[in-house]
């Protein structure tokens, strides 16, 4: 086995890879969960929350607030872009972190939200991209 076979492409994991959502034509560029941007943003938002609420180190963030922080991190640092998403009238819905957060908060978008988290946490997502790069595609 060559060392390259077990190394990760940190730039790719941070910038994201394009993946199609359930054969719909809607594609998202997803960064890997746990990339340095995710970690830094999570720490920043946790610190802001703790300061605003007067929490001390070791105090737990309530579950609902923790989930809210996680959605903000995902919208800013995991969902990097998208294409192929339209309103009912055919108008393109452009990507923005704010729109991604809106979708991540919307219970009607729960299936997509679960897909985002599952895909961003999957080794296979980023291994496939590495294999494509090796093959020259």
Q: In angstroms, rounded to a whole number, what is the distance separating the alpha carbons of residues 34 and 14?
A: 9
- Cross-strand partners of 27: 20, 83
The strand ranges marked E within 46-106 are 79-83
Higher-pLDDT residue of 85 and 129 is 85
How does pLDDT run across 4-14, given as a tens digit for each residue?
777 778 888 99
**Contact status, residue 9 vs residue 98, Cβ threshold 8 Å:** no
How does pLDDT run across 66-112, given as a tens digit for each residue?
999 999 999 999 999 999 999 999 999 999 999 999 999 999 999 99
Enter the pTM of the model.
0.88
Q: What pLDDT, on the 0 to 100 scale, is given for residue 14?
A: 94
Q: Work out the pLDDT band at 65, boundaries 50, 70, 90.
A: very high
Domain ranges of the chain: 13-135
């Amino acid at each position: 086995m060559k060392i390259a076979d077990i190394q990760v492409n940190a730039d790719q994991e941070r910038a994201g890879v394009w993946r199609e959502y359930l054969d719909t034509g809607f594609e998202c560029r997803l960064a890997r969960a746990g990339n340095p941007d995710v970690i830094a943003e999570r720490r920043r938002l946790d610190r802001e929350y703790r300061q605003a609420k007067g929490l001390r180190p070791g105090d737990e963030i309530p579950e609902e607030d923790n989930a809210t922080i996680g959605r903000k991190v995902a919208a800013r640092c995991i969902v990097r872009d998208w294409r192929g998403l339209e309103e009912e009238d055919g108008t393109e819905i452009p990507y923005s972190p704010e729109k991604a957060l809106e979708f991540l908060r919307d219970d009607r978008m729960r299936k997509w939200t679960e897909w985002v988290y599952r895909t961003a946490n999957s080794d296979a997502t980023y291994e496939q991209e590495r294999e494509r790069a090796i093959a020259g595609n």
